[in-house]
Structure 1
């Protein structure tokens, strides 16, 4: 079932711009500098969480000036349901990270259930340390755990339904150049 394209276009026309492209790019450069300072000598394996983390990962990787191995993973807790369950791997990591530092790059830390499960998976599968980088950290008190915090955060965000830079609205606008909030959401 495809979305009504006129509705999708209207959502963009009416959306509130929370961060411009320039602000997002500056935040990505800042995160890159922080990761360079922290992980440059650790030979990390860097995993992009698909699909949301694709744009942030691609742009962030160009700011990392040290040798690294990059790959992706795709996991979900939803599997066509509206409530999350156990972690389901659509694509498990293919690069060995046993006794290595791992950097997980994702678009947003919202409630964090999936990110938390990915971190646990990497730790139990032998990673020496697991670090996380998110473009957006949504400000609310519904996190999976009060201790769940990303190691590297691009921008904080109010608790609204957002899209752009990898985050979608009904599968669309991941390509939006900025961070936008849906009107009324």
Structure 2
């Protein structure tokens, strides 16, 4: 028996086409960044990481829930031996940061002496990232770096050394590609911003 591969792109599915406006809960969102631009940023970051970590075996620590798409696509582009682990933290309610970080699910892996790369979807106030850097740094890794897909420099309230940034954006509230508004919007491959 022979199987014939049929590309998904030929099947019409309106959710995967860039829509002019989407509604999530009580908010309207308009197109911001197409999936192709997001993927280009991911591939560029992966290229830098492949070069900088050549000869090493880093452990990527993906921050759930928002970074799941970014982490998946980033690791598909890695050409070096690497591992992935997950940590879940929360500091958002609705569309604004609470400023309080709660660790919900911690690492099971021993990270002492390892080269760690925190994979985050977005860094805005920096509260979450500062807490993660302190938490993981206390476990004595060989090195500790941050790779974020999005950075909002005008929102930062902490001095952070973020070596790997995919896209620098203004202070817009965005959804899509893993980012959500109260649980909705993560599934869109394109990125939308609140109107």
Q: Is the TM-score greater than 0.5?
A: yes
**1:84 match: secondary structure:** strand
Q: Confirm whether residue 71 of structure 1 aligns to residue 91 of structure 2.
A: no
**2:144 match: secondary structure:** strand
**1:165 match: secondary structure:** coil
Gaps in structure 1 of 5+ consecutive residues: 1-5
**1:106 match: secondary structure:** strand
The answer for the alignment partner of 1:3 in structure 2 is none
- Structural mapping, 1:108-123, within 5 Å: 108-123=122-137
The answer for the alignment partner of 1:104 in structure 2 is 118
Coordinate RMSD, CA, aligned: 2.3
The equivalent position to 2:72 in structure 1, one of 26, 35, 58, is: 58
Q: TM-score, normalised by structure 1?
A: 0.85
Per-residue deviation at 1:78?
6.2
Which protein is bigger by CA-based radius of gyration? 2
Q: TM-score, normalised by structure 2?
A: 0.81
- 2: CA distance, partners of 1:78 / 1:89: 13
* Superimposed CA distance per residue, residues 97-135 of structure 1 (whole angstroms, 9 cap, x where no aligned partner): 101110000100111111111011111111111111111
Higher strand share: 2
- 1: CA distance, partners of 2:36 / 2:157: 31
- 2: CA distance, partners of 1:78 / 1:59: 24
Gaps in structure 2 of 5+ consecutive residues: 1-21
The equivalent position to 2:162 in structure 1, one of 146, 150, 154, is: 150
Aligned length: 173
